[in-house]
A and B are shown apart, each in its own frame.
Chain A
Amino acid sequence: MKKYTALLLLVLIVQSSCKKFLEVESLHRISGNNYWKSKADVEAFTVDLYAKFRNKLTQTSFIPATGDLRTGYIKFTSTVNANTVGEVSRRIVYDYIARNDLKRVVGNYVWNTDLTSGGIFYPSMKFNSITVWTEFYQVIQGANILIDQIEKGVPGLSPADEGQYRGEAAFIRSLAYFMMVRIYGDVPYYTEPYIKDAMGRENMVSVVNKCIADVEKYKESLPVAYGDPAFRAVRATKGAALTLQMHMNMWNAGFDKAKAAAYYSAAADLGQKLLDLKAYELIPISSFSAVMLGRSPEGIFEFNQSINYEPQPNPIAFFGEMVLKFPNKGPGSDNNSSHAYIKPAYLSKIYGTGVDLRKDLWFNSQTMLAGSGSFEFLKFKGDIVSGATGLYGVPEWGLIIFRYADALLLRAEALAELNKDTEALEMLNMVRARAGAGSASETGQQLKDVIFMERNRELLGDGCLYFDLIRTGRILDSQWTDNPLTQAQFNDGGWTWPIDNGALLNNPLMKLNSYWQ
Chain B
Amino acid sequence: MKKIYFLLFLFSLLASISLHAQENILIKGSVLDKETGERLVGVSIVLDGKPPKSLTNTNANGDFTAKVPVNSTLILKYLGYRDFRQVVTAGQTNFTIKLASSAREMNEVVIRGYVARQKEETTGSSVSISGKEIRDIPAASAEDLLQGKVAGLNIQVNTGAPGFRGSVSIRGVSTLSISGSGENAFLSPTSPLYIIDGVPIDADGSTEYGYNSNSGISPLSMIPPEDIQTIEVLKDAQATSLYGSRGAYGVIIITTRKGNSKAPRIRYDTKFFLTDVPKLKETLGGQAERQARLNQIRKFGSEYGGFPESVINTLPALSDSLNPYFNNSTNWQGVFNKSTFNQTHNLGIDGGDDTFNYKTNLKWYNEKGIIANTGQDVYSLNMNMAYKPSKKFNVFFNVLTGLGKRNAGGGNGIFQNGVAENSNASSLLPGPSLFQSTTAVQSVFSIKNDNATKNLRANGEFSFMPIEGLRFTSTGSYEYIRNTEDTFTPSSASIIAGQNWSKLLSYFDRRAILYNRNAINFSKTINYDHSFNILLFNEISKRSFQANYMLNVGTANDYIWGPLGSSTMYSRGGGTLDNYVNVNTAAFSAFFSYNYKKKYILDLSYRLDGSSVSGFDDPYSKNPTIGLRWNYNKEKIFENANWLSSGSIRATWGRNVSPTGDIYTLYGTYSPSGNYVGSPSIGNDFGYVPNNTLKPTTNTTYNLAFDFGFLQDRFTLTYETYLKTVSNLLWDLELPTTAGFIKVKSDDASVVNYGHEANLNIRPLSAKSKVNLAFNINAALNRDVITQLPGGVTQVLQGEGTIASRVGRNAFSNYTIVTDGVYSTNADVPVDPITGLPYRNGNSAFFQEGDPRWVDINGDYILDDNDKQITGNLQPRLTGGLNTTIGYKGFSLLLTGVFTVKRTINNRVLADRLKSAGDIYGSRALLPIDELNYWKNPGDVAKFANPYDYIRYSRISPFRENQSLFLEDGSYFKLNTATFGYTFKKDFVKRLNVNSVRLYLSAYNIFTASPYSGSNPETVTPLGYDKSGGYPVARKYSIGFNIEL
Chain A residues at the B interface, C-beta cutoff of 8 Å: 7, 14-15, 18-19, 21-24, 26-33, 35, 41, 43-45, 47-52, 54, 132-135, 137-142, 145, 188, 194-199, 230-231, 234-235, 304, 306, 308-310, 500, 502-503, 505-507, 510
Chain B residues with CB under 8 A of A44: 672, 679-682
Chain A residues with CB under 8 A of B737: 132-134, 137, 500, 502-503, 505, 507
Known contacts A21-B584, A44-B681, A45-B683: A507-B676 contact under CB 8 Å: no
Complexed CA–CA distance, A33 and B613 (Å)? 11
Q: Check if A35 sits within 8 Å of B670, measured CB to CB.
A: yes
Complexed CA–CA distance, A505 and B739 (Å)? 12
Q: Check if B736 sits within 8 Å of A32, measured CB to CB.
A: no
Chain B residues with CB under 8 A of A27: 580, 582
Return the CB mask of B581-608 against A: 1 if under 8 Å, else 0.
Answer: 0111110100000000000000000000
Q: Check if A31 sits within 8 Å of B676, measured CB to CB.
A: no
Chain A residues with CB under 8 A of B670: 30-32, 35, 45
Q: Check if B679 sits within 8 Å of A199, measured CB to CB.
A: no
| Given A21-B584, A506-B733, A506-B791, 10 other A-B residues pairs in contact with their CB atoms under 8 A | A18-B586, A26-B663, A30-B670, A48-B673, A134-B737, A194-B690, A196-B741, A198-B738, A507-B736, A507-B737
Complexed CA–CA distance, A198 and B689 (Å)? 14
CB nearest to A141 among chain B residues: B740
Q: Check if B738 sits within 8 Å of A199, measured CB to CB.
A: yes
Complexed CA–CA distance, A138 and B738 (Å)? 8
Chain A residues with CB under 8 A of B744: 196
B598 CB, min distance to chain A CBs, angstroms: 29
Q: Check if B736 sits within 8 Å of A48, measured CB to CB.
A: no
Chain B residues with CB under 8 A of A24: 582-584, 612-613
Q: Which of B578, B610, B682, B683 has the most CB of A within 10 A?
A: B683
Closest 9 CB pairs of A and B: A32-B667, A48-B683, A507-B736, A48-B681, A138-B740, A137-B740, A24-B612, A51-B676, A32-B668
B684 interface residue (CB < 8 Å to A) = yes
CB nearest to B585 among chain A residues: A22
Q: Check if B586 sits within 8 Å of A29, measured CB to CB.
A: no
A–B pairs, 20, beta carbons within 8 Å: A22-B612, A27-B582, A31-B669, A32-B663, A33-B615, A44-B680, A45-B681, A45-B683, A48-B682, A133-B737, A137-B737, A138-B686, A141-B684, A188-B738, A231-B677, A309-B676, A310-B676, A505-B737, A506-B791, A510-B736
Q: Check if B667 sits within 8 Å of A234, measured CB to CB.
A: no
CB nearest to A199 among chain B residues: B738
Q: Check if B668 sits within 8 Å of A31, measured CB to CB.
A: yes
B678 interface residue (CB < 8 Å to A) = yes
Chain B residues with CB under 8 A of A506: 733-736, 791
B211 CB, min distance to chain A CBs, angstroms: 24
Q: Check if A49 sits within 8 Å of B689, measured CB to CB.
A: no
Q: Of residues 802 to 854 in B, which have CB atoms within 8 Å of A's CB atoms?
A: none
Q: Check if B540 sits within 8 Å of A18, measured CB to CB.
A: yes
CB nearest to B674 among chain A residues: A310
Complexed CA–CA distance, A49 and B663 (Å)? 23
Q: Of residues 197 to 254 in B, which have CB atoms within 8 Å of A's CB atoms?
A: none
Question: Residue B739 contacts which of A30, A43, A45, A141 (CB distance < 8 angstroms)?
Answer: A141
B671 interface residue (CB < 8 Å to A) = yes
CB nearest to B744 among chain A residues: A196
Q: Check if A199 sits within 8 Å of B684, measured CB to CB.
A: no
B297 interface residue (CB < 8 Å to A) = no
Question: Residue B678 contacts which of A49, A52, A197, A309 (CB distance < 8 angstroms)?
Answer: A309
Q: Check if A43 sits within 8 Å of B738, measured CB to CB.
A: no
B611 interface residue (CB < 8 Å to A) = yes
B287 interface residue (CB < 8 Å to A) = no
Q: Which of B583, B678, B684 has the most CB of A within 10 A?
A: B684
Q: Check if B675 sits within 8 Å of A196, measured CB to CB.
A: no
CB nearest to B683 among chain A residues: A48
Known contacts A21-B584, A195-B739: A48-B611 contact under CB 8 Å: no
Known contacts A145-B684, A230-B678, A306-B677: A199-B584 contact under CB 8 Å: no
Complexed CA–CA distance, A35 and B682 (Å)? 10
Complexed CA–CA distance, A503 and B686 (Å)? 16
Chain B residues with CB under 8 A of A132: 737
Chain A residues with CB under 8 A of B684: 138, 141-142, 145
Q: Check if A43 sits within 8 Å of B679, measured CB to CB.
A: yes
Known contacts A45-B682, A141-B741: A22-B619 contact under CB 8 Å: yes
Q: Check if A26 sits within 8 Å of B677, measured CB to CB.
A: no
Chain A residues with CB under 8 A of B736: 197-199, 503, 505-507, 510
Chain A residues with CB under 8 A of B671: 29-30
Chain B residues with CB under 8 A of A26: 582, 663
B538 interface residue (CB < 8 Å to A) = yes
CB nearest to B685 among chain A residues: A29
Chain B residues with CB under 8 A of A15: 588
Complexed CA–CA distance, A465 and B681 (Å)? 33
Chain A residues with CB under 8 A of B683: 45, 48-49, 51-52, 142
Q: Check if B675 sits within 8 Å of A310, measured CB to CB.
A: yes
B741 CB, min distance to chain A CBs, angstroms: 7
B676 CB, min distance to chain A CBs, angstroms: 4
Complexed CA–CA distance, A22 and B612 (Å)? 4
Chain A residues with CB under 8 A of B791: 506
Q: Check if B611 sits within 8 Å of A22, measured CB to CB.
A: yes
Chain B residues with CB under 8 A of A309: 675-678
B878 interface residue (CB < 8 Å to A) = no
B664 interface residue (CB < 8 Å to A) = yes
B643 interface residue (CB < 8 Å to A) = no
CB nearest to A49 among chain B residues: B683
Complexed CA–CA distance, A505 and B743 (Å)? 12
A194 CB, min distance to chain B CBs, angstroms: 6
Complexed CA–CA distance, A500 and B678 (Å)? 34
Question: Residue A23 contacts which of B540, B612, B690, B741 (CB distance < 8 angstroms)?
Answer: B612
Q: Of residues 755 to 775 in B, which have CB atoms within 8 Å of A's CB atoms?
A: none
B988 interface residue (CB < 8 Å to A) = no
Return the CB mask of B924-946 against A: 1 if under 8 Å, else 0.
Answer: 00000000000000000000000
Complexed CA–CA distance, A230 and B683 (Å)? 21
Chain A residues with CB under 8 A of B679: 43-44, 47
Q: Check if A30 sits within 8 Å of B611, measured CB to CB.
A: no
Known contacts A32-B668, A33-B667: A194-B689 contact under CB 8 Å: yes
Return the CB mask of B631-671 against A: 1 if under 8 Å, else 0.
Answer: 00000000000000000000000000000000110111111
Question: Residue B673 contacts which of A31, A51, A141, A234 (CB distance < 8 angstroms)?
Answer: A51
B616 interface residue (CB < 8 Å to A) = yes
Chain B residues with CB under 8 A of A48: 673, 676, 681-683
CB nearest to A52 among chain B residues: B683
B608 CB, min distance to chain A CBs, angstroms: 10
Complexed CA–CA distance, A231 and B613 (Å)? 39
Complexed CA–CA distance, A48 and B739 (Å)? 18
Complexed CA–CA distance, A33 and B538 (Å)? 27
Chain B residues with CB under 8 A of A43: 679
A44 CB, min distance to chain B CBs, angstroms: 4
Complexed CA–CA distance, A142 and B610 (Å)? 31
Chain B residues with CB under 8 A of A231: 677
CB nearest to A510 among chain B residues: B736
Question: Residue A21 contacts which of B586, B664, B678 (CB distance < 8 angstroms)?
Answer: B586
Question: Residue A31 contacts which of B583, B586, B663 (CB distance < 8 angstroms)?
Answer: B663
CB nearest to A195 among chain B residues: B739
B790 CB, min distance to chain A CBs, angstroms: 11
A201 CB, min distance to chain B CBs, angstroms: 9
Complexed CA–CA distance, A29 and B613 (Å)? 12
Complexed CA–CA distance, A48 and B674 (Å)? 9
Return the CB mask of B1009-1037 against A: 1 if under 8 Å, else 0.
Answer: 00000000000000000000000000000
Complexed CA–CA distance, A31 and B791 (Å)? 26
Complexed CA–CA distance, A503 and B588 (Å)? 48
B612 CB, min distance to chain A CBs, angstroms: 4
Known contacts A21-B584, A140-B740: A33-B689 contact under CB 8 Å: no
Chain A residues with CB under 8 A of B669: 29-32
Chain A residues with CB under 8 A of B588: 15
B270 CB, min distance to chain A CBs, angstroms: 47
